[in-house]
Amino acid sequence: MLERGEVANSWRTERWDSLRLLTPNWQSRLPGLRYEGPDPDGYMTVGEVIAFIERFAAVTRAPVRTGVTVTSVRPADDGYHVTTTRGELSCRAVVIASGACNQPSVPQFAGAVPPSVEQLTPFDYRDPAKLPDGGVLVVGASATGVQLAAELQRSGRPVTLSVGEHVRLPRTYRDRDVLWWMDASGVWDQRYDEVEDLTRARRLPSPQLVGTPERTTLDLNALASMGVELVGRWAAVRDGGALFSGGLRNVFSLADLKMNRLLGTFDEWVLTSGRDAEFGPPERFAPTRVPSSTRLQLDLGSGEIRSVVWATGFRPDYGWLDVPVVDAKGQLRHEGGVAGRPGLYALGLPVLRRRRSTFMCGIEDDAREVIEHLARYLAARR
Ligand SMILES: Cc1cc2nc3c(=O)[nH]c(=O)nc-3n(C[C@H](O)[C@H](O)[C@H](O)COP(=O)(O)OP(=O)(O)OC[C@H]3O[C@@H](n4cnc5c(N)ncnc54)[C@H](O)[C@@H]3O)c2cc1C
Protein backbone atom coordinates (compact mmCIF):
# COMPACT_ATOMS: atom_id res chain seq x y z
CA MET A 1 0.00 0.00 0.00
CA LEU A 2 1.53 3.23 -1.12
CA GLU A 3 0.48 6.48 0.58
CA ARG A 4 1.92 9.87 -0.31
CA GLY A 5 1.31 11.32 3.16
CA GLU A 6 0.59 9.56 6.42
CA VAL A 7 -2.18 7.12 7.27
CA ALA A 8 -5.53 9.02 7.05
CA ASN A 9 -3.80 11.71 5.01
CA SER A 10 -6.98 13.26 3.59
CA TRP A 11 -8.39 13.65 7.11
CA ARG A 12 -5.15 15.22 8.33
CA THR A 13 -4.62 17.69 5.53
CA GLU A 14 -7.84 18.38 3.63
CA ARG A 15 -10.51 19.02 6.27
CA TRP A 16 -11.57 22.07 8.26
CA ASP A 17 -11.21 22.29 12.04
CA SER A 18 -14.84 22.04 13.16
CA LEU A 19 -15.78 19.16 10.84
CA ARG A 20 -17.42 16.13 12.35
CA LEU A 21 -18.51 13.09 10.39
CA LEU A 22 -22.10 13.27 9.24
CA THR A 23 -22.37 9.52 9.73
CA PRO A 24 -23.04 8.45 13.35
CA ASN A 25 -20.28 6.67 15.29
CA TRP A 26 -21.89 3.25 15.04
CA GLN A 27 -21.62 3.59 11.26
CA SER A 28 -17.86 4.10 11.50
CA ARG A 29 -16.97 0.54 10.78
CA LEU A 30 -14.13 -0.97 8.85
CA PRO A 31 -13.54 -4.69 8.32
CA GLY A 32 -12.93 -6.09 11.82
CA LEU A 33 -13.04 -2.71 13.59
CA ARG A 34 -16.08 -0.97 14.98
CA TYR A 35 -16.67 2.07 17.14
CA GLU A 36 -16.93 0.80 20.70
CA GLY A 37 -16.95 4.09 22.64
CA PRO A 38 -19.65 5.47 24.94
CA ASP A 39 -21.51 7.53 22.33
CA PRO A 40 -22.61 5.34 19.39
CA ASP A 41 -25.08 7.99 18.20
CA GLY A 42 -22.53 10.83 18.25
CA TYR A 43 -20.40 12.04 15.34
CA MET A 44 -16.58 11.79 15.25
CA THR A 45 -14.39 14.85 15.12
CA VAL A 46 -11.60 14.88 12.54
CA GLY A 47 -9.09 13.96 15.26
CA GLU A 48 -11.20 10.95 16.23
CA VAL A 49 -11.46 9.84 12.60
CA ILE A 50 -7.67 9.99 12.25
CA ALA A 51 -7.24 7.95 15.45
CA PHE A 52 -9.82 5.41 14.22
CA ILE A 53 -8.12 4.89 10.86
CA GLU A 54 -4.68 4.76 12.50
CA ARG A 55 -5.99 2.06 14.82
CA PHE A 56 -7.33 0.13 11.84
CA ALA A 57 -3.94 0.29 10.13
CA ALA A 58 -2.27 -0.99 13.32
CA VAL A 59 -4.81 -3.74 14.09
CA THR A 60 -4.77 -5.10 10.54
CA ARG A 61 -0.99 -4.61 10.26
CA ALA A 62 -1.64 -3.03 6.87
CA PRO A 63 1.63 -2.94 4.92
CA VAL A 64 1.48 0.81 4.36
CA ARG A 65 4.51 2.60 2.96
CA THR A 66 3.93 6.23 3.86
CA GLY A 67 5.57 9.22 2.20
CA VAL A 68 5.54 7.50 -1.20
CA THR A 69 3.75 9.35 -3.99
CA VAL A 70 2.77 7.36 -7.06
CA THR A 71 3.66 9.49 -10.06
CA SER A 72 2.85 7.00 -12.81
CA VAL A 73 1.13 3.65 -13.34
CA ARG A 74 1.44 2.25 -16.83
CA PRO A 75 0.70 -1.06 -18.48
CA ALA A 76 3.60 -3.50 -18.72
CA ASP A 77 3.89 -6.97 -20.27
CA ASP A 78 3.15 -8.74 -17.05
CA GLY A 79 0.84 -6.24 -15.34
CA TYR A 80 1.81 -2.70 -14.41
CA HIS A 81 4.88 -0.61 -14.00
CA VAL A 82 4.64 1.85 -11.12
CA THR A 83 6.85 4.89 -10.69
CA THR A 84 6.98 6.53 -7.28
CA THR A 85 8.97 9.23 -5.55
CA ARG A 86 10.85 6.39 -3.84
CA GLY A 87 11.64 4.24 -6.85
CA GLU A 88 10.04 1.90 -9.36
CA LEU A 89 8.09 -1.29 -8.91
CA SER A 90 6.25 -3.88 -10.95
CA CYS A 91 3.02 -5.61 -10.04
CA ARG A 92 0.43 -7.87 -11.62
CA ALA A 93 -2.56 -5.92 -10.38
CA VAL A 94 -3.28 -2.42 -9.10
CA VAL A 95 -6.09 -1.30 -6.79
CA ILE A 96 -6.74 2.42 -7.12
CA ALA A 97 -7.82 3.60 -3.67
CA SER A 98 -6.60 7.16 -4.06
CA GLY A 99 -9.96 8.69 -3.13
CA ALA A 100 -12.87 10.39 -4.87
CA CYS A 101 -12.23 13.85 -3.47
CA ASN A 102 -8.61 14.74 -4.27
CA GLN A 103 -9.35 18.19 -5.66
CA PRO A 104 -12.06 20.77 -5.10
CA SER A 105 -14.18 21.33 -8.24
CA VAL A 106 -14.33 25.01 -9.04
CA PRO A 107 -16.12 26.41 -12.11
CA GLN A 108 -13.99 28.07 -14.75
CA PHE A 109 -15.60 31.49 -14.28
CA ALA A 110 -13.88 31.68 -10.87
CA GLY A 111 -11.02 33.17 -12.89
CA ALA A 112 -13.22 36.19 -13.71
CA VAL A 113 -13.94 37.05 -10.06
CA PRO A 114 -12.29 40.42 -9.27
CA PRO A 115 -8.99 40.07 -7.38
CA SER A 116 -10.35 42.21 -4.52
CA VAL A 117 -12.51 39.21 -3.54
CA GLU A 118 -10.62 36.43 -1.77
CA GLN A 119 -11.40 32.91 -2.99
CA LEU A 120 -11.12 29.74 -0.93
CA THR A 121 -11.90 26.09 -1.43
CA PRO A 122 -12.75 23.71 1.44
CA PHE A 123 -9.13 22.51 1.21
CA ASP A 124 -7.89 26.03 2.11
CA TYR A 125 -10.52 26.67 4.75
CA ARG A 126 -9.74 25.86 8.38
CA ASP A 127 -11.93 28.24 10.42
CA PRO A 128 -13.71 31.58 9.93
CA ALA A 129 -10.59 33.53 10.99
CA LYS A 130 -9.03 32.42 7.68
CA LEU A 131 -11.43 34.82 5.91
CA PRO A 132 -11.43 38.62 5.87
CA ASP A 133 -14.23 40.35 7.79
CA GLY A 134 -17.26 41.19 5.70
CA GLY A 135 -19.69 39.37 3.45
CA VAL A 136 -19.06 35.83 2.24
CA LEU A 137 -20.57 34.15 -0.78
CA VAL A 138 -20.68 30.40 -0.18
CA VAL A 139 -21.26 28.53 -3.42
CA GLY A 140 -22.99 25.15 -3.18
CA ALA A 141 -25.54 23.93 -0.65
CA SER A 142 -24.54 20.33 -0.09
CA ALA A 143 -22.96 19.03 3.12
CA THR A 144 -19.82 21.19 2.90
CA GLY A 145 -21.65 24.35 1.79
CA VAL A 146 -24.37 24.28 4.43
CA GLN A 147 -21.87 23.52 7.20
CA LEU A 148 -19.48 26.33 6.20
CA ALA A 149 -22.36 28.78 5.61
CA ALA A 150 -23.65 28.15 9.15
CA GLU A 151 -20.21 28.48 10.73
CA LEU A 152 -19.39 31.69 8.83
CA GLN A 153 -22.77 33.26 9.59
CA ARG A 154 -22.24 32.48 13.29
CA SER A 155 -18.83 34.19 13.10
CA GLY A 156 -20.60 37.46 12.33
CA ARG A 157 -19.92 37.54 8.59
CA PRO A 158 -23.10 38.04 6.53
CA VAL A 159 -23.41 34.95 4.32
CA THR A 160 -25.06 34.65 0.93
CA LEU A 161 -25.51 31.02 -0.11
CA SER A 162 -25.77 30.12 -3.78
CA VAL A 163 -28.04 27.07 -4.07
CA GLY A 164 -28.19 24.62 -6.97
CA GLU A 165 -29.50 21.07 -7.04
CA HIS A 166 -29.25 19.61 -3.54
CA VAL A 167 -30.32 16.70 -1.35
CA ARG A 168 -32.42 17.77 1.62
CA LEU A 169 -32.59 15.43 4.62
CA PRO A 170 -33.71 15.87 8.23
CA ARG A 171 -31.09 14.84 10.78
CA THR A 172 -33.57 12.60 12.57
CA TYR A 173 -36.76 10.91 11.41
CA ARG A 174 -39.26 9.05 13.57
CA ASP A 175 -36.82 9.23 16.53
CA ARG A 176 -33.84 7.76 14.66
CA ASP A 177 -30.91 9.20 12.77
CA VAL A 178 -31.87 9.53 9.11
CA LEU A 179 -28.80 7.47 8.19
CA TRP A 180 -30.09 4.70 10.45
CA TRP A 181 -33.10 4.63 8.12
CA MET A 182 -30.90 4.55 5.02
CA ASP A 183 -29.13 1.57 6.54
CA ALA A 184 -32.07 -0.38 7.98
CA SER A 185 -34.46 0.09 5.05
CA GLY A 186 -31.88 -1.21 2.59
CA VAL A 187 -31.81 2.02 0.56
CA TRP A 188 -28.06 2.31 1.07
CA ASP A 189 -27.56 -1.27 -0.09
CA GLN A 190 -29.14 -0.73 -3.48
CA ARG A 191 -26.59 -2.12 -5.92
CA TYR A 192 -25.05 -0.22 -8.78
CA ASP A 193 -26.56 -2.58 -11.35
CA GLU A 194 -30.05 -1.97 -9.91
CA VAL A 195 -29.85 1.83 -9.91
CA GLU A 196 -31.96 3.31 -12.70
CA ASP A 197 -29.62 6.11 -13.76
CA LEU A 198 -26.17 5.15 -12.52
CA THR A 199 -24.34 8.13 -14.03
CA ARG A 200 -26.70 10.46 -12.23
CA ALA A 201 -26.53 8.52 -8.97
CA ARG A 202 -22.74 8.73 -9.07
CA ARG A 203 -22.92 12.50 -9.50
CA LEU A 204 -25.47 13.08 -6.74
CA PRO A 205 -24.32 15.76 -4.29
CA SER A 206 -23.82 14.91 -0.61
CA PRO A 207 -26.87 15.36 1.63
CA GLN A 208 -27.46 18.54 3.64
CA LEU A 209 -26.40 17.02 6.95
CA VAL A 210 -24.16 18.02 9.82
CA GLY A 211 -23.02 15.92 12.77
CA THR A 212 -23.52 17.91 15.97
CA PRO A 213 -24.02 16.75 19.56
CA GLU A 214 -27.50 18.37 19.41
CA ARG A 215 -28.36 16.37 16.25
CA THR A 216 -29.65 19.49 14.56
CA THR A 217 -31.12 19.58 11.08
CA LEU A 218 -29.19 21.97 8.84
CA ASP A 219 -31.48 22.52 5.87
CA LEU A 220 -32.13 25.75 3.98
CA ASN A 221 -34.97 26.72 6.34
CA ALA A 222 -32.55 26.48 9.27
CA LEU A 223 -29.96 28.59 7.44
CA ALA A 224 -32.52 31.21 6.40
CA SER A 225 -33.65 31.46 10.04
CA MET A 226 -30.03 32.16 11.01
CA GLY A 227 -30.02 35.07 8.55
CA VAL A 228 -28.26 33.44 5.59
CA GLU A 229 -29.45 34.94 2.29
CA LEU A 230 -30.31 32.34 -0.36
CA VAL A 231 -29.70 32.97 -4.05
CA GLY A 232 -29.87 30.66 -7.08
CA ARG A 233 -27.12 28.72 -8.79
CA TRP A 234 -24.15 30.89 -9.73
CA ALA A 235 -24.17 30.75 -13.51
CA ALA A 236 -21.59 33.28 -14.71
CA VAL A 237 -19.53 36.39 -13.98
CA ARG A 238 -20.25 39.38 -16.18
CA ASP A 239 -18.70 42.85 -15.84
CA GLY A 240 -17.46 42.02 -12.36
CA GLY A 241 -20.87 40.84 -11.21
CA ALA A 242 -22.10 37.39 -10.19
CA LEU A 243 -25.18 36.23 -12.12
CA PHE A 244 -27.46 33.73 -10.40
CA SER A 245 -30.15 31.52 -11.95
CA GLY A 246 -33.74 32.18 -11.02
CA GLY A 247 -36.22 29.42 -10.31
CA LEU A 248 -35.33 28.76 -6.67
CA ARG A 249 -38.94 27.69 -6.14
CA ASN A 250 -38.46 24.76 -8.54
CA VAL A 251 -35.10 23.79 -7.07
CA PHE A 252 -36.59 23.81 -3.56
CA SER A 253 -39.72 21.88 -4.46
CA LEU A 254 -37.70 19.20 -6.26
CA ALA A 255 -35.52 18.69 -3.16
CA ASP A 256 -38.61 18.62 -0.91
CA LEU A 257 -40.32 16.14 -3.23
CA LYS A 258 -37.33 13.81 -3.26
CA MET A 259 -36.97 14.01 0.51
CA ASN A 260 -40.65 13.16 1.00
CA ARG A 261 -40.36 10.29 -1.45
CA LEU A 262 -37.44 8.90 0.54
CA LEU A 263 -39.29 9.29 3.85
CA GLY A 264 -42.21 7.48 2.19
CA THR A 265 -39.86 4.60 1.35
CA PHE A 266 -38.88 4.40 5.03
CA ASP A 267 -42.55 4.38 6.08
CA GLU A 268 -43.32 1.58 3.63
CA TRP A 269 -40.41 -0.43 4.95
CA VAL A 270 -41.77 -0.04 8.50
CA LEU A 271 -45.16 -1.37 7.42
CA THR A 272 -43.82 -4.31 5.43
CA SER A 273 -41.35 -5.28 8.15
CA GLY A 274 -44.10 -5.21 10.81
CA ARG A 275 -42.02 -2.94 13.09
CA ASP A 276 -44.56 -0.12 13.37
CA ALA A 277 -44.66 -0.21 17.17
CA GLU A 278 -40.93 0.55 17.45
CA PHE A 279 -41.03 4.06 15.99
CA GLY A 280 -42.84 7.35 16.38
CA PRO A 281 -45.47 8.30 13.79
CA PRO A 282 -44.52 9.29 10.22
CA GLU A 283 -43.38 12.91 10.00
CA ARG A 284 -43.43 15.45 7.20
CA PHE A 285 -41.40 18.64 7.34
CA ALA A 286 -42.30 22.19 6.34
CA PRO A 287 -41.53 22.87 2.68
CA THR A 288 -38.40 24.91 2.02
CA ARG A 289 -39.43 28.55 2.32
CA VAL A 290 -38.93 30.54 -0.87
CA PRO A 291 -37.61 34.05 -0.10
CA SER A 292 -40.05 36.81 -1.08
CA SER A 293 -37.45 38.17 -3.48
CA THR A 294 -34.12 36.74 -4.53
CA ARG A 295 -31.25 38.61 -6.06
CA LEU A 296 -30.25 37.57 -9.55
CA GLN A 297 -27.01 39.49 -9.52
CA LEU A 298 -24.47 40.76 -7.11
CA ASP A 299 -21.78 43.37 -7.77
CA LEU A 300 -18.54 41.72 -6.70
CA GLY A 301 -16.69 45.01 -6.80
CA SER A 302 -18.96 46.85 -4.34
CA GLY A 303 -17.20 45.53 -1.22
CA GLU A 304 -20.34 43.76 -0.01
CA ILE A 305 -18.74 40.37 -0.71
CA ARG A 306 -15.18 40.11 0.59
CA SER A 307 -14.68 36.40 0.01
CA VAL A 308 -16.04 33.46 -1.94
CA VAL A 309 -15.98 29.89 -0.63
CA TRP A 310 -16.33 27.29 -3.37
CA ALA A 311 -18.26 24.39 -1.87
CA THR A 312 -18.99 23.09 -5.35
CA GLY A 313 -17.86 19.52 -4.84
CA PHE A 314 -14.71 17.50 -5.26
CA ARG A 315 -13.22 15.33 -7.94
CA PRO A 316 -10.59 12.63 -8.14
CA ASP A 317 -7.12 13.19 -9.54
CA TYR A 318 -5.81 10.55 -11.93
CA GLY A 319 -3.01 12.67 -13.35
CA TRP A 320 -0.61 9.86 -12.41
CA LEU A 321 -2.57 7.08 -14.13
CA ASP A 322 -1.06 6.44 -17.57
CA VAL A 323 -3.72 3.90 -18.54
CA PRO A 324 -6.54 4.98 -20.90
CA VAL A 325 -9.39 4.32 -18.46
CA VAL A 326 -10.32 7.89 -17.52
CA ASP A 327 -13.19 9.58 -19.36
CA ALA A 328 -13.34 13.15 -20.69
CA LYS A 329 -14.85 14.32 -17.38
CA GLY A 330 -11.91 12.93 -15.42
CA GLN A 331 -13.84 9.98 -13.99
CA LEU A 332 -12.53 6.44 -13.97
CA ARG A 333 -14.38 4.05 -16.30
CA HIS A 334 -15.17 0.91 -14.34
CA GLU A 335 -17.81 -1.73 -13.79
CA GLY A 336 -18.31 -2.14 -10.04
CA GLY A 337 -14.65 -1.30 -9.39
CA VAL A 338 -13.32 -3.49 -12.20
CA ALA A 339 -11.60 -0.99 -14.50
CA GLY A 340 -11.34 -1.31 -18.25
CA ARG A 341 -7.98 -3.13 -18.29
CA PRO A 342 -7.20 -6.56 -16.79
CA GLY A 343 -5.71 -6.37 -13.32
CA LEU A 344 -6.85 -2.80 -12.69
CA TYR A 345 -9.34 -2.20 -9.88
CA ALA A 346 -10.81 0.70 -7.90
CA LEU A 347 -12.37 1.20 -4.47
CA GLY A 348 -13.92 4.13 -2.64
CA LEU A 349 -15.77 5.79 -5.56
CA PRO A 350 -19.41 6.95 -5.52
CA VAL A 351 -21.91 4.07 -5.93
CA LEU A 352 -19.01 1.80 -6.83
CA ARG A 353 -21.07 -1.29 -5.95
CA ARG A 354 -23.84 0.10 -3.77
CA ARG A 355 -25.23 3.45 -2.68
CA ARG A 356 -23.19 3.40 0.52
CA SER A 357 -19.89 2.98 -1.36
CA THR A 358 -18.51 6.47 -0.68
CA PHE A 359 -19.05 6.19 3.04
CA MET A 360 -16.71 4.51 5.46
CA CYS A 361 -19.36 1.89 6.23
CA GLY A 362 -19.48 1.00 2.54
CA ILE A 363 -15.96 -0.25 2.06
CA GLU A 364 -16.26 -3.68 3.68
CA ASP A 365 -18.70 -5.25 1.21
CA ASP A 366 -17.23 -3.45 -1.80
CA ALA A 367 -13.68 -4.47 -0.95
CA ARG A 368 -14.67 -8.10 -0.44
CA GLU A 369 -16.32 -8.33 -3.86
CA VAL A 370 -13.61 -6.43 -5.72
CA ILE A 371 -10.83 -8.43 -4.07
CA GLU A 372 -12.63 -11.70 -4.88
CA HIS A 373 -12.53 -10.66 -8.53
CA LEU A 374 -8.86 -9.71 -8.23
CA ALA A 375 -8.00 -13.04 -6.56
CA ARG A 376 -9.79 -14.97 -9.33
CA TYR A 377 -7.89 -12.94 -11.93
CA LEU A 378 -4.52 -13.71 -10.34
CA ALA A 379 -5.39 -17.40 -9.86
CA ALA A 380 -6.42 -17.75 -13.51
CA ARG A 381 -3.13 -16.26 -14.65
CA ARG A 382 -1.18 -18.61 -12.48
C1 LIG B 1 -15.60 16.91 3.44
C2 LIG B 1 -15.85 15.44 3.48
C3 LIG B 1 -16.61 14.90 4.49
C4 LIG B 1 -16.86 13.53 4.55
N5 LIG B 1 -17.64 13.03 5.56
C6 LIG B 1 -17.84 11.69 5.64
C7 LIG B 1 -18.62 11.12 6.71
O8 LIG B 1 -19.17 11.84 7.53
N9 LIG B 1 -18.75 9.78 6.77
C10 LIG B 1 -18.18 8.95 5.85
O11 LIG B 1 -18.33 7.72 5.97
N12 LIG B 1 -17.47 9.46 4.81
C13 LIG B 1 -17.30 10.80 4.69
N14 LIG B 1 -16.58 11.31 3.64
C15 LIG B 1 -16.13 10.42 2.60
C16 LIG B 1 -14.75 9.95 3.04
O17 LIG B 1 -13.78 10.65 2.34
C18 LIG B 1 -14.64 8.49 2.87
O19 LIG B 1 -15.53 7.82 3.70
C20 LIG B 1 -13.23 7.98 3.15
O21 LIG B 1 -12.33 8.91 3.67
C22 LIG B 1 -12.70 7.56 1.82
O23 LIG B 1 -11.50 6.89 2.05
P24 LIG B 1 -10.56 6.54 0.85
O25 LIG B 1 -9.41 5.82 1.47
O26 LIG B 1 -11.32 5.88 -0.24
O27 LIG B 1 -10.12 7.96 0.25
P28 LIG B 1 -9.23 9.08 0.92
O29 LIG B 1 -9.54 9.27 2.34
O30 LIG B 1 -9.28 10.26 0.02
O31 LIG B 1 -7.76 8.44 0.84
C32 LIG B 1 -7.03 8.33 -0.36
C33 LIG B 1 -5.57 8.35 -0.01
O34 LIG B 1 -4.81 8.18 -1.20
C35 LIG B 1 -3.66 9.00 -1.12
N36 LIG B 1 -3.21 9.28 -2.48
C37 LIG B 1 -3.90 9.93 -3.47
N38 LIG B 1 -3.16 10.00 -4.59
C39 LIG B 1 -1.99 9.37 -4.33
C40 LIG B 1 -0.83 9.11 -5.09
N41 LIG B 1 -0.71 9.52 -6.37
N42 LIG B 1 0.20 8.45 -4.49
C43 LIG B 1 0.09 8.02 -3.21
N44 LIG B 1 -0.99 8.24 -2.44
C45 LIG B 1 -2.03 8.91 -2.99
C46 LIG B 1 -4.14 10.23 -0.39
O47 LIG B 1 -3.05 10.90 0.24
C48 LIG B 1 -5.13 9.66 0.61
O49 LIG B 1 -4.56 9.39 1.87
C50 LIG B 1 -16.32 12.68 3.56
C51 LIG B 1 -15.55 13.23 2.53
C52 LIG B 1 -15.31 14.59 2.49
C53 LIG B 1 -14.49 15.15 1.36
Q: What is the pLDDT of residues 233-252, one digit of tens each?
A: 999 999 999 999 999 999 99
Mean pLDDT of 97-108: 97
147 Cβ closer than 6 Å to some ligand 1 atom? no
CATH architecture of 9-102+315-380: 3-Layer(bba) Sandwich (3.50)
Q: What is the 226 CA–ligand 1 centroid distance (Å)?
A: 31
The predicted structure's pLDDT at residue 170 = 98
- What distances in angstroms separate CA 116 from CA 7, 119, 240, 242, 349, one per listed residue? 38, 9, 11, 14, 37
- The answer to whether 99 and 288 are in contact (CB under 8 A) is no
Domain chopping of the chain, boundaries: 9-102+315-380, 104-313
By alpha-carbon position, which residue is closest to atom 8 of ligand 1?
21
Residue 56 pLDDT more than 90? yes
Mean pLDDT of 131-147: 98
CA distance 67 to 69: 6
Mean pLDDT of 111-122: 97
Q: What is the 325 CA–ligand 1 centroid distance (Å)?
A: 21
The predicted structure's pLDDT at residue 121 = 98
In the chain, the percentage of residues whose pLDDT exceeds 70 is 100
Radius of gyration of the chain (CA): 22
By alpha-carbon position, which residue is closest to atom 33 of ligand 1?
98
Q: Do domains 9-102+315-380 and 104-313 have the same CATH topology?
A: yes
To the question of domain 104-313 being in CATH 3.50.50.60, the answer is yes
148 Cβ closer than 6 Å to some ligand 1 atom? no
Residue 382 pLDDT more than 90? no
Per-residue pLDDT band for 22 (boundaries 50, 70, 90) equals: very high
Q: What is the 91 CA–ligand 1 centroid distance (Å)?
A: 24
pTM reported for the whole predicted model: 0.97
Nearest to 259 by CA among 217, 200, 196, 292: 217
Return mean pLDDT, the chain.
Answer: 97
Per-residue pLDDT band for 255 (boundaries 50, 70, 90) equals: very high
97 Cβ closer than 6 Å to some ligand 1 atom? yes
Residue 98 pLDDT more than 90? yes
In this structure, the number of other CB atoms found within 10 A of the CB of residue 214 comes to 7
Residue 340 pLDDT more than 90? no
* Tens digits of residue pLDDT in 282-319: 999 999 999 999 999 999 999 999 999 999 999 999 99
- Taken as a whole, the chain contains a residue count of 382
69 Cβ closer than 6 Å to some ligand 1 atom? yes
Atom number of ligand 1 nearest to Cα 21: 8
248 Cβ closer than 6 Å to some ligand 1 atom? no
Q: Helical H runs in the chain?
A: 9-13, 46-59, 143-154, 178-184, 198-203, 220-226, 248-273, 363-381
Atom number of ligand 1 nearest to Cα 317: 38
